[in-house]
């Protein structure tokens, strides 16, 4: 996330929404009263923590393995079922390799579950609302346009579940591809522990993607904030959404919620 300098034009517009007469302050957000923060939803868009650093710093599980462990050997082990892991797993399995695919949460990774698929579904609904409010430009009258955010979120979830189910079907139709549910830990150079299972392979691919990385901003831990993931679970439209971060993700959510009807400050 790009930190806004206290004396930049962007920060002046941001602080003016919380301070009398646009008074500037230093030191992050610790000076703001709790009641002032309640006037807005706060969306924090920090940099994504990239788990590919595990390639340089493998994560080992210390401690004894369960005595009930089951040892399985594969031609390849792939950690993560996102846009990197799934195509690789399918291709290797189609070539006749025995493949283990490890996923600790939902099939499809970031893109299907909390990235491209859900955001573009919600962006589409925002575009429809925008067209409806501006329909008079094309000679169409559409008065009293309103947004049912709970219904939009339900539709978004339905699309995500459908895409996730499609990934499960791709796994199920390949007999030599096995899905292991759980957290993977290295216990040796070519060994991984997933629950009670001990997996072995000469080829281990780490495709675990990323997650929101909350920046160290003074006062942030004293307020209830949203991330790029949790903001898509809101079912009530916020009156005012404050977005920290002016990158493409922040601007996408900013335009989306502005078209829904919220007041937005980036």
Q: Within 10 Å of residue 210's Cβ, how many Cβ atoms? A: 15
User: Long-range contacts of range 227-234, CB-CB < 8 Å, 24 or more positions apart?
Assistant: 227/43, 227/44, 227/45, 227/46, 228/43, 228/45, 228/114, 228/253, 229/114, 231/41, 231/43, 232/114, 232/118, 232/119, 232/122, 232/153, 232/156, 233/153, 234/41, 234/149, 234/153
**Residue among 57, 58, 49 nearest 184 (CA):** 58
What domains sit in the chain, N to C, each tagged with a CATH number? 1-47+213-266 (3.40.50), 51-210 (3.50.50.60)
Q: Which tokens go with 232?
A: 């898509």
**Residue among 105, 127, 108 nearest 116 (CA):** 108
Rounded (5°) CA angle 101-104-110: 90
**Residue among 36, 44, 42, 38 nearest 16 (CA):** 36
Q: Within 10 Å of residue 95's Cβ, how many Cβ atoms? A: 11
Which backbone phi and psi does 111 adopt, to 5 degrees? -60, -50
pLDDT in tens, the chain (266 residues): 433 333 333 333 333 333 334 444 444 444 444 444 444 556 655 444 444 444 444 445 544 444 445 577 999 999 999 989 999 999 999 999 999 999 999 989 889 999 999 999 999 999 999 999 999 999 998 888 999 999 999 999 999 999 999 999 999 999 999 999 999 999 988 999 998 889 999 999 998 887 888 888 888 889 889 999 999 999 999 999 999 988 999 999 999 999 999 999 99
Q: From the centroid of its chain, how far is CA 222?
A: 22
What is the spatial distance between Cα 15 and Cα 29, in angstroms, rounded to a whole number? 10
28 near 216, Cβ under 8 Å? no
Question: Taking the model in full, what pTM does it have?
Answer: 0.71
CA-derived radius of gyration, the chain: 23
Pairing of strands 184-188, 191-194: antiparallel
């791709």: which residue's tokens? Answer: 170
């Amino acid at each position: 996330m790009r930190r806004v300098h206290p004396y930049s034009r962007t920060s002046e517009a941001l602080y003016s929404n919380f301070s009398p007469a646009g008074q500037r302050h230093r030191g992050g957000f610790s000076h703001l009263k709790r009641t002032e923060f309640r006037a807005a939803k706060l969306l924090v868009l920090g940099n994504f923590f990239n788990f590919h650093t595990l390639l340089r710093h493998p994560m080992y599980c210390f401690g004894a393995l369960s005595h009930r462990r089951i040892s399985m050997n594969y031609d390849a082990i792939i950690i993560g079922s996102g846009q990197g892991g799934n195509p690789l797993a399918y291709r290797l399995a189609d070539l006749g390799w025995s493949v283990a695919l490890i996923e600790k949460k939902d099939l499809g990774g970031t893109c299907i579950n909390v990235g491209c698929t859900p955001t573009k579904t919600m962006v589409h609904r925002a575009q429809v609302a925008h067209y409806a409010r501006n329909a008079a430009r094309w000679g169409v009258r559409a008065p009293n346009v309103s947004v049912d955010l709970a219904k939009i979120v339900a539709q978004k979830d339905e699309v995500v579940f459908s895409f996730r189910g499609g990934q499960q079907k791709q796994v199920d139709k390949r007999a030599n591809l096995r899905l292991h549910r759980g957290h993977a830990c290295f216990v040796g150079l070519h060994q991984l522990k997933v629950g009670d299972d001990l997996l072995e392979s000469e080829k281990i691919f780490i495709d675990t993607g990323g997650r929101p990385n909350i920046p160290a901003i003074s006062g942030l831990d004293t307020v209830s904030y949203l991330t790029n993931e949790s903001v898509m679970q809101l079912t009530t439209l916020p009156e005012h959404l404050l977005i920290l971060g002016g990158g493409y993700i922040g601007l996408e959510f900013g335009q989306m919620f502005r078209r829904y009807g919220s007041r937005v400050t980036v």
